Amino acid sequence: MSNRNLIRIVSVCLALVLLFAMSTHVLASGESVSVDSFDISECAPGAYVVGQVTHVNGTDAVGIKFVLKNHTKLTLDTAIFGILPSGTYGFGLSVPAATEVGDSMTIRIDLLDAGSNVIVSGRLNYYCGGVEPVVAAPAVPGPDLVYIPAEAVVGAIVADTPALFAPQADATTDVVLNAGMTLWVYGVDASGSYYKVMLSGQFYWVPVNTMGPNYDEVWNGTPLPTVVVD
């Protein structure tokens, strides 16, 4: 038997194993997946970086998908690997095109069912190179260095709205947020009427009815955070 035929047979067998594992998977109680660490120092586009991921309380193996997105440059890289039983594993993924030190990044890992639908996700937000960007002094209240907490989610503007410097209707600024824009969402004010968002290193508030989930390949409609923030 030739080596080429042997490789074909092995490939088919691996594909059948993956299909069987994914088709029989049912999300177990307490099952989760998390990105434990990632080499945030590597910012060269196409460079090979490594990290560690943990699959907890899984009863069997599942399909696994990685997505690494550069929110600053709006580029991403994806990779789909075989099967992931419960345990801790290393992985590698390419840095997306045009990435530079200081760019806002998200790495996400999905467990997939037989139809390649996401059944549970884990993600890690970071700045490439570990360097947070410094912005010019803002015209409205906002920090010079921006921290993105783990509960923050990227949402999408669904209706044009002025950005507010406080969670009140008369706190308007000259900044207009147009439908289709995506922003980091940190949470809501005490009344639950306004989302706190971050744009280019500055914080604003917008009415909750002007924002919705972001259905891109990274966020897949993740619900916006409801934690109360200042």
Indicate the DSSP class of residue 13: H
What's the Cα-to-Cα distance from 119 to each of 65, 85, 113, 222, rounded to whole Å?
11, 15, 7, 12
CA 146/CA 9 separation, integer angstroms: 52
Query: Domain spans of the chain?
Result: 27-130, 135-141+150-230
For residue 177, the one-letter residue type is L
CA 120/CA 213 separation, integer angstroms: 17
Give 3-state DSSP helix, strand, coil % of the chain, rounded to 5. Answer: 10, 45, 45
Choose the CATH number for 135-141+150-230 among 3.30.1360.120, 3.20.20.150, 1.10.287.1080, 2.30.30.40: 2.30.30.40
Fold of 27-130: Immunoglobulin-like (2.60.40)
CA 141/CA 230 separation, integer angstroms: 12
Tens digit of pLDDT at every position of the chain (230 positions) = 443 333 333 333 333 333 333 344 566 777 777 777 777 888 888 888 787 878 787 666 567 788 888 877 888 888 776 666 778 877 788 888 888 888 888 888 877 776 777 777 777 778 888 765 544 433 343 344 467 777 888 999 999 999 999 999 999 888 899 999 988 999 999 999 999 998 877 889 999 999 999 988 778 888 999 999 98
